[in-house]
Structure 1
């Protein structure tokens, strides 16, 4: 039984940590499978067509497409919900701390993108989105390897910064490089999002209605040629964050139910070993119903979809898109401008940009370093942001689809993620550890 309050970020962190571990195992197995004598079966699995029909309308795409465009929308929905919670009612709701995180995220996007654009040829300029993103699951996994006693504020700050980068790079790349294939479908998607905004303004909390309209928006975006992950981000924006039940009513009602159960126990005075199962289960059922009513729509939705996103969407994406053929590239080609630009931007550009922008923001006085965190830990944490891994790979799939360049970029991402992770862990170990404060003081 849980005997302490479990905050939302702690559950988010643990689920993504376990999901990230499963994803890494899946990625290694997929890489071995692809380069084994049975590699053709992997290709068949990824490229086998799957048809989804809605009445007389149907979409036939490879399985890899559905993983990339639909399951990843679920993952971005989970990320969007967590970012909204953190900024609105969570650990970064204080404006100075929020501005510090925003400045750090901007620097961690702008400097790597500028470095990549400087090194890459004109034909590959769209690859800036590969280095402008960050993988929150990889970062949380690396932080867990660093130490369990790292400040909660540092873990929240780094994960929120990574989510900001992932969402911002997605939206920017879609706006700049997407070619609309169906204006009518795009109009439908836009109209559905407008309807969702109206529902939110009317304080509607009917979750199935939000999800149904979100599904329609997702299908419309896919028909229009827009990445499905955009639908996940937009749906997260409109999910209500507050509960209809106020704290005082919940506490009073809970105390009343527990008091009634205690009174029944005192009245019946059961002998040692004798059970009051019916009374006990009735009280538990009542508390459960009250808890369901008291949970905000955002918290309820996040609890339900986060395991699916971490344990299904992410590993399946790794299974479909991590592998590459060992004999499909020449080693010297890794020194080409595009793979070298990706590597340098992730390893050097990320920490330089984040530290520079964060320092400038704190210097102006408009932003403040999170409590219990010192600059040595921030330096180690910023290095971890270079572990772009899966989200960088996701962007690479959009920019370099099925080309030899994609294999080189993949290897650069993996190499940069490994080196950034090792450097970050080393700096965090040297920087030392500080004792975390209670959650309320973060």
Structure 2
């Protein structure tokens, strides 16, 4: 008989990566499916951009990104190029979904439990501190040029990482996927704080204070469960425009709006409004907003570039080392220390080799890394172009190394699954369920 005593439940709750509850597992499965498809579209958009930017028609790619759909919007700070609209406008949808996800995790998800939250928070902090330290160390050793980009390698791109995981994984434990998703949620929270605090230029407080009005009205409507699109979308657009005019990156408006949406259902049954809105807007984010941003952000041209000079550039070296080495050591090391100095243990179905593969996978930094590169050095600048190349290179190396490790781990779990599903006597019951526990097998 299965041990379901309170003491057994307590022991299991202290295990890292332990199995989620069924509602949580079902929600995570829906998220993973959407993000996996989105990751594929993201990868496709990046490949198309790279090919176009290095083709004989590369000038048309540059012209498309620089085109201003509304040249008369200078009075409202909206005379943006198409690439800037993608970075400032479309990514606000992505961060709105992030805001919904963050609030849901802290109110109704696993992050509401401090014991469960400790691991992804510690892994996210380690996975941001170590890459930043790697970047700072390399740039300071080279004279300090490019130090402003210290936050570039700190972000993990969940869509890209889940796309890689979907390709190499068929039998890996559920807890590993859940850990990666939760890690990315916490990682996004710190990235939002970094963008708002360290990459705000020309701050104007009055528009930001003005943005509180449409955000407050938006909050009032969603708290009363009034989901009138003809009211909510204009209020969200006005809040975005005012935050953009304040000098704070406009994507922060998306997060603030997401935080206002209630998570718990009003009558105690069915999904809450945050989950419903997330279900509605996640496909728009993962399937359109992020791939379009990637299309305009990833198109770095290497035509006429001295590759030796590029690869020895301190900023490029710092970004690549931060993503590949810093992320891996930060995520794996912080998790190991948490297990070493607390009573937390790995769940029975997870090994440290599995965790090492996931730590490598966390080094895939794309969407937010590219965005921070643009904020740090200016979109289209020479350093920004080098940052793009570095982010692509570091992410590719991390993806390749993670794929190598996780493919082997997946093969091991597949062999275990095949062994446990064997039915040599043909009675329809797997042999593993017919073994005598006293046999010790």
| Same topology, TM > 0.5 | yes
CA gap of 1:118–1:170, structure 2 versus 1, over 3 A, is same
Whole-Å separation in 1 of the counterparts to 2:204 and 2:70 = 19
Q: Indicate the residue corresponding to 1:280 in structure 2.
A: none
Q: 1:49 to 1:370 in 2, by over 3 A?
A: farther
Report the counterpart of residue 301 of structure 1 in structure 2: 277
Shift of 1:104: 0.4
CA–CA separation in structure 2 for the residues paired with 1:411 and 1:326: 9
Quote the Cα distance in structure 2 between the aligned partners of 1:353 and 1:115.
Answer: 11
The Cα offsets for residues 88-145 of structure 1, whole Å up to 9 and x where unpaired, read as: 3234443212111100000000011011111114342221211111100011111112
Match of 2:8 in 1: none
The residue aligned with 1:265 is: none
Residues 26, 127 of structure 1: CA spacing in aligned structure 2 closer, same or farther, 3 A cutoff? Answer: same
Which of 265, 269, 289 in structure 2 is aligned with 1:313?
289
Match of 1:348 in 2: 325
Aligned to 2:398: 420
Residues 233-258 of structure 1 deviation map (CA, whole Å, 9 limit, x = unaligned): 122222100112334xxxxxxxxxxx
SS of structure 1 residue aligned to 2:249: coil
* Residue of 18, 25, 28 corresponding to 2:47: 28
Separation (CA, whole Å) in 2 of partners of 1:92 and 1:342: 30
CA distance in structure 2 between the aligned counterparts of 1:223 and 1:310, rounded to whole angstroms: 26
C-alpha distance in 1, partners of 2:92/2:350? 33
* Aligned-CA RMSD value: 2.7
How far the C-alpha of 1:181 sits from its partner, in A, is 4.3
Q: What does 1:196-275 correspond to in 2, within 5 Å?
A: 203-208=223-228, 211-247=233-269
Q: 2:382 aligns with which of 393, 404, 410?
A: 404
Q: Secondary structure at the match of 2:70?
A: strand
8 Å contact from structure 1 (residues 104, 161) kept in 2: yes
C-alpha contact 2:199 2:376 (8 A) present in aligned 1 = no
* 2:108 pairs with 1:128: no
SS of the counterpart of 1:60? coil
Q: What is the CA–CA distance in structure 2 between the aligned matches of 1:22 and 1:33, rounded to whole Å?
A: 16
Q: Deviations over 1:361-417 (max 9, x none)?
A: 233327564674332211110000111123211221211222222222222211211
The 8 Å contact of residues 99 and 254 in structure 2, kept in 1 or not, is answered as yes
Matched, 1:95 2:138: no
1:44 pairs with 2:20: no
In structure 2, do the counterparts of structure 1 residues 367 and 83 end up closer, same or farther at CA, with 3 Å as the change threshold? farther
- The Cα of 1:196 is off from its aligned counterpart by 5.7
Deviation of 1:335 after TM superposition, in Å, equals 1.2
Q: How far apart, in 1, do the equivalents of 2:297 and 2:70 lie?
A: 20
Contact kept? 1:52, 1:58, Cα under 8 Å: no
Q: 1:297, 1:66 → 2: CA distance?
A: 28
Q: 1:66 corresponds to which residue?
A: 85
User: What is the Cα deviation at residue 424 of structure 1?
Assistant: 1.2
Q: How many residues align?
A: 384
- Whether the 8 Å CA contact 2:46–2:294 is kept in 1: the answer is yes
Distance 1:177 1:318 in 2: 20
TM-score (norm 1): 0.80
Aligned partner (choices 300, 308, 312) of residue 332 of structure 1: 308
**1:433 corresponding residue in structure 2:** 413
User: Using a 3 Å threshold, how does the CA distance of structure 1 residues 57 and 133 change in structure 2: closer, same or farther?
Assistant: closer
> Which of 169, 186, 207 is residue 147 of structure 1 equivalent to?
169
CA distance in 2, matches of 1:53, 1:204: 37
Unaligned runs of 5+ residues in structure 2 are 1-21, 418-441
Matched, 1:174 2:196: yes
Q: 1:371 to 1:197 in 2, by over 3 A?
A: farther
- For the 8 Å contact 1:95–1:367, the answer to whether it is kept is no
Query: 2: distance between equivalents of 1:53 and 1:155?
Result: 47
